[in-house]
Structure 1
Amino acid sequence: MKNNFPRRFRRLYEEVLLSNTFSLFVGWIITVALPFIAFWSYEQLISPNNGQKNALIATSIAYFFSAAGTNRLRNIYPGGRSAAFILPQVVLVYGLIALITFMLRLEISRFLLIASGATALIWLYIEYTLTEKYKRLKLAIIPGNKYTEEISQLKLVDARVLKTLSLEGRRYDSVVADFESIDENTQRFLTQCALHRTAVYDAKQIYESLTGKVKIHRMSENNMGALLPSPGYERLKFFIDILIVLATLPVVLVIGLITAILIKIESPGPAIYTQTRIGQGNKPFTIYKFRSMRFDRLASEQFAGENDPRITKIGKIIRKLRIDELPQFFNILKGEMSLIGPRPEQPSFVNEYDKKIPFYSYRHIVKPGISGWAQVRQGYTASADETQVKIEHDFYYIKNCSLSLDLIIAILTIRIMITGFGAR
């Protein structure tokens, strides 16, 4: 079997210009060195004071973490190839650096820190625009099952279905096939691709990575028995949750007090309402939320749509900014919830979906969260079909639960609060 196996971007100049090292170096020159040189005299550059020295170190750290985080989103986060993720990433990193220097009472040039942050934001947008065409995944698809079919229809990658077992001289990042149903000729072809340094991936693995969802038609598809969360990470996560809640409590209490007053002024009824939800281990617990709808204790459980007439004016605002979830900090302190995790559902919905999907309750193997993978990927659900997709996102989170994924969800939650995406 004759074939050509060209490797995408393996030429020396391509490897240099598209490398992370080159990007980081150029970005550091633009976002750190240039502001430092532009705003100080020659004498100050030769003998910088402590504030300038600390600012140079702080801005270097902030830029590298911002650039590395943005690059990580583009490479491992499903659907992460969007310029919309750059702003929350930069704001979070530079904000944390500023907070750390303030808490440590370090002498620092705030002007240089702000100038570097603004320049980093502009540069990362420019760098994203210039390289997006080349960093977009180009996949050769060998047709065969539902996963390869859905991958070929995804807009976030350049997926091309092979008509024959040949790359036809084109350069690809990887070849994708269904490993469970390939014949001997396809196996030989994939082996040759791998030998010539063209990556080969299973369609199911690529589908989950690109979409952030895990199909749940049958338990056997998901290897559920191996997906027990790490006890060590669960303990670490609980410690981080408590630390963040206690650190932000003064600000949260002020925001909560103002919110409660505005809710009481607009409509009668309690500012905070309680509701039974299902938590970790299928155990019911009482969740706390700021009321965003007109108060009706006898109302039946139902989905809240985007334009639900029950939502008050204040309710629309606090739902968009996720302020209505702040009382759940008390649930976190009680050990019932986490900052990040699948959203807890009402008992009636759990019973309904448990009948339709025998292993639906597996999503309760971890603590429910204030924000979660389904929320940043999809937003609130308002129908049974949307809930089905949300469950697939929940299963992806359980399967890939880690500190890095939790950090990505935190960053994208900030994006939601800024843009309003997913806030219904």
Structure 2
Amino acid sequence: MHSVSPLSRMRYQLGGALLVAGLLPYAWQLALEGTWRSDNPGLLWTLTAVLVAIVSGFYALRAISAYPGVKAGIFVIPAFLASYAFVFTLLVLTRIDYVRPVLFFSVLACVGWFLTIHASVSRARRMTIAIAPFGDVGDLRELDGVEWLWLTTPSLPDRPIDGVVADLRADMPDEWERMLAEQTLAGTMVYHVKQLREALSGRVLIDHLSENTFGSLMPVAAYVGIKRVLDTLVALALLPLFAIVFAVLYVVVKLDSPGPFIFRQQRVGYRGHQFTMFKIRTMRVPSRATDLTQRRAAAITADEDPRITRIGRFLRRMRIDELPQIANILRGEMSWIGPRPEAHALSEWYAHEIPFYAYRHIVRPGISGWAQVNQGHVAEVHEVHEKLQNDFYYIKYFSPWLDLLIVVRTLATVLTGFGAR
């Protein structure tokens, strides 16, 4: 087993942060006061707040970094600014005395420490994982970002290995099972193929329904309720700003092409209930569809769709056309983050073609989601199948950390126009 850099270990990262960003600013303040023991309660409260901010920011960063395709260094500044802002707000609201220089230098030291760590770790070689050649492991080598070693004998090669992956439900010869057990005892990570595939691809295979990390099909009820409250509070806070934006866009859209400002469409949402979703109209008003085939065609937006207006193309690229869905959020029909709701005609089609399609309705649909930031707009059945794998991944790992990651990646998506049609 090869040696691992101490900076990649959790205890060294957190311990170093507590020392560099916690105890050192505290000791520096004591030196300024000319004493080794301060009777200033504000300094002790500041130290406590700093330690809480470091620990909470560290675990938030680790939680976000666990998802596929995440470069942890990008989230260092937002994670710790958020944790320090939280403890600072508590200090202000509770009117507790605190020492501003200690808090300020702690933020700088903490961010600098973790940026240095992630810059160092990111320069390390990519992971090398050995594959035990039994069961459902053949497609692993198609996943990027890992050097795969296909084992032919129940022993590891004489070179650095980050872990072994095996289909732990497959029947293996005794010597292979013995090797996996021995490697586990020796400290080598042994992964089950299902979990590793999900972690690297960001998708959940849907050949059958898959339980979440708590062993059930239902998402965590507590977070469902908390998320609903947060959705409403954010929507209410943004409503005055959106009202100004809508007033300007109303004039622009009406001048660009005839038709209503708001486009309404029946979508399938939370627990399979239909609702009317609102968008800013970005297409010319079509003739009324009379049969199912025409309704499906009208619901699908093709590449370079000629129905899209000049201003509509810009609104779609920047995702501004989705803003009226703030009304759907306030009505409890949607969330800021979740699987995108499909048009009723398309949803019926997909449900007929794809098993377990209806399971994506177990959470509220969102304005943005895991599939949108990873895949973009889709329409064909084979693309929907992949999108559904992304949706199932979101449902299985339903958490505030995944939502926060999607928010950040949505901002990047808006700036690049990824997946827009």
Q: Does 1:384 align with 2:384?
A: no
Stretches of 4+ aligned residues off by more than 6 angstroms? 25-36, 52-64, 90-123
Which residue of structure 1 lines up, in the alignment, with residue 210 of structure 2?
Answer: 222
For this pair of structures, how many residues does the alignment match? Answer: 409
- Distance of 1:357 and 1:264 partners within structure 2: 39
- Cα offset, 1:207, TM superposition: 0.7
More divergent stretch after superposition (414-423 vs 317-326): 414-423
1:337-416 matches, within 5 Å, as 337-416=334-413
TM (norm. structure 2) is 0.78
Given the alignment of the two structures, is residue 187 of structure 1 paired with residue 177 of structure 2, yes or no?
yes
Alignment partner of 1:247 is 2:237: yes
Q: What are the equivalent positions in structure 2 for 1:75-224 lying under 5 Å apart?
A: 76-81=66-71, 127-134=117-124, 136-146=126-136, 148-185=137-174, 186-216=176-206, 218-219=207-208, 222-223=210-211
Distance 1:107 1:314 in 2: 53
| Contact 2:84–2:107 (CA under 8 A) maintained in structure 1 | yes
Picking from 272, 275, 284, the partner of 2:265 is 275
Aligned-pair distance for 1:398? 1.7
Instruction: Determine the C-alpha separation between the residues in 1 that align with 2:14 and 2:318.
Output: 33
CA–CA distance in 1 between the matches of 2:414 and 2:338? 18
The one-letter code matched in structure 2 to 1:371 is S
Q: 1:225-251 CA deviation, whole Å, 9 max, x = no partner?
A: 931223333222212211221122222
Q: Which moved more, 1:83-92 or 1:97-106?
A: 97-106
Is residue 2:73 matched to residue 1:73? no
From the superposition, tell whether residues 231 and 128 of structure 1 become closer, same or farther in structure 2 (CA, over 3 Å): closer
CA distance 1:362–1:8, change in 2 (3 Å)? farther
Is the 1:175–1:198 contact (alpha carbons within 8 Å) kept by the matching residues of 2?
Answer: yes
Which region of structure 1 is more displaced relative to structure 2, 393-402 or 262-271? 262-271
Q: What secondary structure is seen at the aligned counterpart in 1 of 2:342?
A: coil
CA 1:230/1:125 → structure 2, altered by over 3 Å: closer, same or farther? closer
SS in 2 for 1:273: strand
**1:213/1:283 CA distance change after superposition, 3 Å:** same
Q: Distance in 1 between the 2:85 and 2:300 partners?
A: 36
Q: Which structure 2 residues correspond to residues 261-340 of structure 1 after superposition, within 5 A? A: 261-296=251-286, 298=288, 300-340=297-337
Q: How much has 1:30 moved relative to structure 2?
A: 8.5
Unaligned runs of 5+ in 1: 1-5, 37-41
Counterpart residue identity of residue 392, structure 1 = Q
Task: Name the stretch that deviates more: 197-206 or 52-61.
Answer: 52-61
Kindly provide the CA deviation profile for residues 7-53 of structure 1, in whole angstroms up to 9, marking residues without a partner as x.
Answer: 552xxxx3x333345445767898899999xxxxx89xxx9xxxx99
State, as a whole percentage, how many aligned pairs show the same letter: 37
Q: Cα 1:315–1:58, aligned 2, differ >3 Å: closer, same or farther?
A: farther
Partners of 2:252 and 2:335 in 1: CA distance: 27
Deviations 1:375-398 (A, max 9, x none): 122222243322111001111122
Cα distance in 1 between the residues matched to 2:89 and 2:322: 24
Distance 1:78 1:30, change over 3 A: same
2:225 pairs, out of 225, 232, 235, with 235
CA contact (8 A) 1:379 1:423 kept: yes
Cα deviation, 1:72-102, whole Å, max 9, x if unaligned, reads 333x112223755567657877887899899
3-state SS in 2 of match to 1:301? helix
SS of equivalent residue, structure 1 residue 264 = helix
Shift of 1:202: 1.2
Give the deviation of 1:149 after TM superposition: 2.6
Q: Deviations over 1:283-326 (max 9, x none)?
A: 21100011223333536424324533433343333333322222
Q: Secondary structure at the match of 1:289?
A: strand
Structure 1 range deviating more: 132-141 or 92-101 = 92-101
* TM-score (structure 1 length as normaliser): 0.78
For 2:255 and 2:100, the matched residues in 1 are separated by 40
RMSD: 4.1
SS of the residue 1:276 aligns to:
strand
Deviates more, 1:169-178 or 1:391-400: 169-178
Q: Does 1:257 align with 2:247?
A: yes
1:344-388 CA distances to partner (integer Å, 9 max, x unpaired)?
111221122222223211111222111111112222224332211
- AA in 1 matched with 2:403: D
Name the amino acid aligned to 1:209: A
Alpha-carbon distance between aligned partners in 2 of 1:234 and 1:280, rounded to the nearest angstrom:
12
The CA distance in 2 between the partners of 1:264 and 1:339, in whole Å, is: 27
Unmatched tracts of structure 2, length 5 or more: 27-31, 290-296
